[in-house]
Chain A
Amino acid sequence: MTLVQTNPIITDDEPPVSLWRDAWHRLKRNKLAIFGLCVIVVLAFAAVFGPYLTPFDFLSQDLDARNQAPSLLHLFGTDDLGRDVFSRVVYGTRTAFLVAVVVTAIALAIGTTLGAIAGFFGDPYDRVIMWLTDMTMSVPNLLLVVVINASLKNPIAKWMEAQYMATLNPFYRETIWIDFFLVFGSMALISWPPYARLVRAQVLSIRSRPYITAAMALGLPNRIIMMRYVVPNALGPLIVSVSAGLGTAMVLESAFSFLGVGVNPPTPSWGNMISDGLRVWQHYPHLLAAPAFVLGLASVAFSFLGDGLNDALNPRGSK
């Protein structure tokens, strides 16, 4: 038997150890993605620990120091009640991450479940689920949210008040829960369809790929085929869209706040700070600039990371 040695293979400088470590190697080479990752890590740190580290409380007012321009003492200046804007932006980071993570998690759970059922079991599930998806997507987002808020906010507030009267439990006095419930709920309600479509398309296309048939021809059990052949191939696009989705959720919360249906003051969110800042930006531009800048930074960071992950998780793609 004579065998000619054909095309030598191209190997990476370091021998790859696993798909994930390999992806990490590729991600490290992408400067924008690493920039995005750094920004996200810093913001996440601020979200978790920031409120304990800032020099001022985000609520404490100093009426002698209202509307101050940025200074060493107040890095981002102060607002019309003399509250430290830096501390408020930092606390807003917590709100932003809370909204983004919870909303994306809910949307992802709904979307993945429905999408996988539709893709895997086909009709009639597929038909019903896709109809639901199209319906949800065809309703204008903001309209839906405004309607939900308008119809649910008062009844819930009344119910909470009644509970407080009955139990005197201070928990029912925290209107912040109503905000979060409505904001999370309505945002998740409009955010799941893209995940459902993505997962359905992934499952459908992967299921009919030749390498799945080949894996079945090896007599591997469905469990292994799902975990090692279907899921890793579906994961890339999903991770990418989750990363982008987190950024989108933050922007969406701001849009809601602007319409008065987001997280309400006094709890700081970038959205309600921007919407407050917009009223006075001719006189005190820092009140708009600070939260808007951080929001923009976060949104850009998530999309850079998403793009980087897309390339990194796809070993077939050109580098």
Chain B
Amino acid sequence: MTAQNKQERLLDVKGLTVEIDGRRGPAVVVDGIDLYVGKGETLGVVGESGCGKSLTMLSLMRLLPNKIKVTKGTAEFNGRDLQTMSNRELRKVRGGDIGFVFQDPMTSLNPVMKVGDQLCEPLIYHRKMSKADARKRAVELLRLVGIPGPEERLDAYPHELSGGMRQRVMIAIGLACDPKLLIADEPTTALDVTIQAQIVDLVKDLRNKLGMSVVWITHDLALIAGLADRVVVLYAGTVVEDAPVDDLYANPSHPYTRGLLASIPTLSDAPAARLSSIGGTPPEPGRRPAGCPFAPRCPLAMDICLREVPKLEPISSEGRHRAACFAVNTALKAA
């Protein structure tokens, strides 16, 4: 058996499909996504803005806004389907087993509640802690995420903290109940580069200390190079490539992934080499082409690409590197 099957899966998503009820009828935003996260593994989820990264994660936890619905698929956490479990059970998983760190630290904290109280709330509710114990634990958590003077910060309102501090508070809230899985949705987009690096280091450190699994969503491939064990590349609501991180950098296969990597400036690159970033924009949900969603922007597009949807297929002998592209698969068979 291959390595991927031996590794125990903490989160296993199969065929997840999400639709938006728009004015022009329903539009598929997340189109039958398969992904999994092993125990202790860190998964990077990469893709351009609007490709459905956030909606995928929100739909796992049944947190989608009105008019956006999961229409197909399962999402098993520790062997139990999150999509069909009762609200009561789901509430235990939310915040208890799965911690969530949201994209925007400016709007994801309750503006009229002190950060200490926001930190204590899940502890009191899930862990049945007393107010005093919860506050002690909150101080520990703030210290853990590197906030100086945590005792005083407990009584600060979110607007009294800088963006980086707020992001750390969000991470502390996500970690409050020692989750088995931390889902971080672009936790560093709003921050400047130095703080980004600090937060990445921080999560790496915490993951090693606490042994949890992490899903780190980003549109920045360079950022997760040193953090993720495995990377899933999303395009227009589908998985186009899934590979161990080293494999992905050494041997990117899907034309979209190659385009993404080419648009990362590296020190050794000649200026001309960087310009090969992908032209055009991803298709809007509801206006996706019939065949391969990437076809309109793909330099390798063939006839079949316009008619049929490529499946995610193994392209390396261990089967851990998979891609959804006719060109790649034909090349493999020919070889």
Contact = CB atoms under 8 A, between A and B. Distances in A.
A59 interface: no
A85 B297 CA distance: 85
B95 A10 contact: no
A233 interface: yes
Contact of A217 (B94, B110, B148, B159): B94
Given A1-B205, A208-B65, A214 B102 contact: yes
Interface stretch (A151-159, A224-232, A298-306): A224-232
A16 interface: yes
Contacts of B108: 210-211, 213-214
B179 to A, nearest CB: 11
A303 B107 CA distance: 30
Interface residues of B, number: 50
B270 to A, nearest CB: 33
B98 to A, nearest CB: 8
Given A9-B165, A219-B126, A209 B195 contact: no
A215 B110 contact: yes
Interface in A192-216: 208-211, 213-216
Nearest to B205: A1
A6 B113 contact: no
A296 interface: no
Contacts of A6: 162, 164-165, 195
Interface string B151-186: 011011101111011000010010010000000000
B104 interface: yes
Nearest to A231: B112
B157 A315 contact: yes
A218 B152 contact: no
Contact of A224 (B58, B125, B161): B125
B65 A229 contact: no
Contacts of A217: 61, 63, 94-95, 100, 102
Interface string B118-142: 0001100110000000000000000
Contacts of A4: 194, 198
A7 B161 CA distance: 8
Contact of A7 (B61, B156, B162, B205): B162
B91 interface: yes
Contacts of B90: 219
B260 interface: no
Contacts of B61: 217
A5 interface: yes
Contacts of A10: 160
B63 A16 contact: no
B96 interface: yes
Interface in B54-81: 58, 61, 63, 65-66
A224 B95 CA distance: 14
A220 B107 contact: no
A218 B173 contact: yes
Contact of A214 (B100, B159, B162, B164): B100
Contacts of A11: 152, 155-156, 160
Nearest to A211: B110
B159 A213 contact: no
A233 B113 CA distance: 9
A2 B204 CA distance: 13
A10 B109 CA distance: 17
A5 B148 contact: yes
A221 interface: yes
A140 interface: no
A211 B63 contact: no
Which of B95, B173, B176, B195: most chain A CB closer than 10 A? B95
A170 interface: no
B94 A216 contact: yes
Interface string A279-294: 0000000000000000
B201 A219 contact: no
Contacts of B160: 9-11
Interface in A1-38: 1-7, 9-11, 15-17, 19
Contacts of A236: 112
Interface in A300-319: 315-316
B93 A219 contact: yes
B111 interface: yes
B117 to A, nearest CB: 8
A216 B63 contact: yes
Interface of B: 58, 61, 63, 65-66, 90-96, 100, 102-104, 107-114, 121-122, 125-126, 146, 148, 152-153, 155-157, 159-162, 164-165, 170, 173, 176, 194-195, 198, 201-202, 205
Given A1-B146, A236-B112, 16 more contacts: A2-B201, A5-B148, A6-B164, A6-B165, A7-B164, A122-B66, A210-B103, A210-B104, A213-B58, A218-B176, A219-B90, A219-B91, A220-B95, A221-B125, A228-B110, A233-B110
9 contacts: A1-B201, A1-B205, A7-B164, A9-B162, A17-B155, A211-B110, A215-B110, A233-B111, A233-B112
